[in-house]
Amino acid sequence: MDNFPQSNGLPAYVTANDVKTRPGKVIPYREALRLILSSMATKRLPESIRSELPAIVSHWLHAPKEAPLLLAKKTGKKWRALLSGYVAINPDNLARLKLHRVNPRLGFKLDHGDIPLPPVRHPTFTFIDLFAGIGGFRVALQNLGGKCLFSSELDLTAKQTYFSNFGEIPFGDIHKFTAKNIPDKWIAKCIPDHDIMAAGFPCQPFSKAGISARIALGQKHGFSCETHGALFFDVVRIAKVKKPKAIFLENVKNLHTHDGGRTFQIIRDVIEQELGYSFSSHIIDASPMVPQRRLRCYIVCLRDPKVTFSFPSIKGRPRPLISILEASPPDRYTISNRLWNGHQERTKRNIDRGTGFKAYEADLCKPANTLVARYFKDGKECLIPQKGKNPRKLTPRECARLQGFPEEFIPHCLPQPAYRQFGNSVAIPVVERIAEQILDQYL
């Protein structure tokens, strides 16, 4: 998997030996990204810009006729000239290229063949992807013809997976755009206008598992958790400035009941009273669309407060787990004797005392239990029975299928972050069905 540049340095300059000419003025997307980043390696830039330069360039390459986010319009002109010159001249002359002598119009074509899930060519609506994770919202909205104009995600490994699949590096800490000292004019300039704001804001402070863990560790939860709980208000700050036509949120079922319902009421009051949007929420089980019991709270808010959103009916027979299993998974996913014996012993103790987790082999004719971020630790939530062997964990590909990711989606190359990322993701078919209803009803 490609590793994109980080704040501690940019890749070496692309030499003539690295450049390959291609007919028809076509340049592979990733090659264009490396070329521009290399050309900026020696530029004097504020650290706040340099650390986000991979995100700035990759976003710009999805809309090269626009000005780069956070940078001057003339910078985009220079980048267009660089890429136009790259495809127009002999590679041996690359070092002598005079940018001001090259027509800054688009004299090149980007080949997205090296991106599994490239941007939509003729979009019918636009969206931004906040707390993007590995792009579950993006897959769903692109499937419906949407174009992503801005993405943000703090986790490094999730950003790597996002880049591997969409060719775009999300911006990092969203607080750089929403902090109290950031004026509204800056937000209006830096974040593009869009039709739908999609945000799966972090759920751990509101989930039952997250609350239990935080109480045990003496940590705060819900909105009291400054690190994650208050991120909802970053969504509000952006929405207040940009005024998208629709806000589409997803969180855990427990959001409804957290803190006696007060957390959910605060969210509703802020959206209705501060933003002036309509507010609709619904808890949906994804099992008729993907083979796992996954109940999540979905929230749709519309800019016109007179319009009440009606959620689609998602019903039907739950899909069986066997429908997504690989035929011949590698033996490395079979759990050890020690782990399996430990699961069985703890399960017996917990049954006797009437509390605690229980680990059983899954019923392949029924949907799996909810895939969670901690699944990589021991796989106890879903153990696949095997004839003559200990049970095994799901493979990362099977986890991707559990969430409805397409087969061309590339999981992270390391198993631990791959499992965590799929456990934190959304059920794509459910998101797509709700988004389709938003488009039909309102956009």
Pairing of strands 280-285, 295-302: antiparallel
Burial environment of residue 153 by CB neighbours within 10 A (0 to 12, 13 to 18, 19 or more): buried
Structure tokens given for 392: 């095994």
Q: What is the DSSP string of 130-173?
A: ET-TTSHHHHHHHHTTEEEEEEB---HHHHHHHHHHHS---BS-
Coil, strand, or helix at residue 29?
helix
Coil, strand, or helix at residue 301?
strand
Tokens 């700050």 locate to: 237
- For 100, residues 6+ apart whose C-beta sits below 8 A from its C-beta are 81
Measured CA to CA, the distance from residue 31 to residue 98 in angstroms comes to 20
Coil, strand, or helix at residue 33?
helix
Measured CA to CA, the distance from residue 431 to residue 428 in angstroms comes to 5
Q: Which of 148, 203, 225, 301 is catalytic?
A: 203
Concerning whether 203 is annotated as a catalytic residue, the answer is: yes
Structure tokens given for 272: 């209705």
Pairing of strands 26-28, 109-111: parallel
Q: What is the DSSP string of 187-256?
A: HHHHS---SEEEE----TTTSHHHHHHHHHTT---GGG-TTTGGGHHHHHHHHHHH--SEEEEEEEGGGG
Instruction: Output helix, strand, coil percentages for the chain, rounded to the nearest 5.
Output: 45, 15, 45
Residues facing residue 56 across a β-bridge = none
Instruction: Give the count of beta carbons closer than 10 Å to the beta carbon of residue 413.
Output: 13
Residues marked as catalytic: 203
